[in-house]
Amino acid sequence: MQDHAIEIEKLRKTYGGTKRTPAHEALKGVDLAIPAGSIFGLLGPNGAGKSTMINIMAGLVRKTSGRVRIWGFDQDVNPRQSRAAIGVMPQELNMDPFFTPRAALEVQAGLYGVPASQRRTDEILELIGLSDKADAYARSLSGGMKRRLLLGKALVHHPQILVLDEPTAGVDIELRQMLWQNVRKLNERGMTIILTTHYLEEAEQMCDEIAIINRGEVVVRDKTSALVDRMDGKTLLITPEGPAPAQIALPEGVTLERRAGGTLAFTYKRRETPANAVLDAVRAAGITIRDVATEEAHLEDVFVALTTSRPTPVEAA
């Protein structure tokens, strides 16, 4: 197996630049290596450059400069092999309404030059839960079923890499769970999964590593757990036995929020303030503690912190 499924070096893409259209640099020298066999999250706000990068990887958009290798194949040297190594499930629902799912998969396989003897149409239909709709017109499928069919079309040529572009946008919980079960099965078989999503909780649960893109640059790339750990803030939730006093002397750097039901939320930085210091302050105020809980940082906190400013791009060692 390749060490890296995707290798991107100094990738730039500029749109426009004519007298009528001012230049817009969608990607600004991106460097990114995605490990083979991983589930990798590619996150960023709208307009960050995610779709441009995906379309370049898929061979749908020409880069301005830089180098892209897909499963070891340089796009400029081996364009057919690099395209064959990657399958993309797009965000948009694009399919012929008069094709059945079976026909759509067969046609897609033919476009990729997959011989009839090597096609896995029935296996894919079962995987995506459309065996019972195999011969129904695509126009009669629900929105969720159409999304499943897009996944099937991305798999017909046996790619080593699968890109899921906002795969669960607007779908119900049942379909979302089914999709992730299938994605985990594919990953367990060795397929590399690249995921873009606006559901940060989803990325936190699914992805081994995450890169966050903002304004055409990778602002951070790290293991998911390490990204969450970067947010040093922690909240200690204390439920007192009775009403808390109006004034509580707090250690330096600790803030207090009084929540509904009388809960006291003490927020502090773990590296600067030990939890015992907060508890000592609570006891010193004469508060009897009925219950204690904690709130940890989530990926959403990291995402907001990194995309609401212009941090210096960093790469995990």
Non-local (6+) Cβ contacts of 41 within 8 A are 195, 196, 197, 203, 206, 207, 209, 210, 211, 224
pLDDT at 311: 46
**Domain residue extents for the chain:** 4-85+159-228, 232-296
- N residues, the chain: 317
Joined together, the tokens standing for residue 125 give: 């239909």
> pLDDT at position 149, please?
93
Query: Does the structure show a pLDDT above 70 at 238?
Result: yes
Asked if the model's pLDDT at residue 49 lies above 50, the reply is yes
Q: What is the pLDDT of residues 249-274, one digit of tens each?
A: 999 999 999 998 899 999 988 878 99
Instruction: Assign a CATH topology to domain 4-85+159-228.
Output: Rossmann fold (3.40.50)
**Whether domain 232-296 has CATH 1.10.357.10:** no
What pLDDT shows up at residue 315?
Answer: 44
Give which of 209, 218, 268, 266 is closest to 238, Cα–Cα. 266
Please tell me which residue, 231 or 193, carries the higher pLDDT value.
Answer: 193
Q: Give the pLDDT confidence score for residue 297 in this predicted structure.
A: 72
Determine the Cα angle at 15 with ends 11 and 18, to 5°: 135
SS3 content of the chain, % helix, strand, coil (to 5): 35, 30, 40
The CA angle 197-218-72, to the nearest 5 degrees, is 85
Name, of 147-151, 152-156, 295-299, the range with top average pLDDT. Answer: 152-156
Specify the pTM.
0.78
Q: In degrees to the nearest 10, what's the CA dihedral of 48, 52, 57, 62?
A: -140
Helix (H, G, I), strand (E, B) or coil at 123: helix
| CA neighbor of 33 nearest in space, from 234, 221, 240 | 221
Give the pLDDT band of residue 316 (cuts 50, 70, 90).
very low
pLDDT, residue 152, reads: 94
- Using pLDDT thresholds of 50, 70 and 90, give the confidence band for residue 213: very high
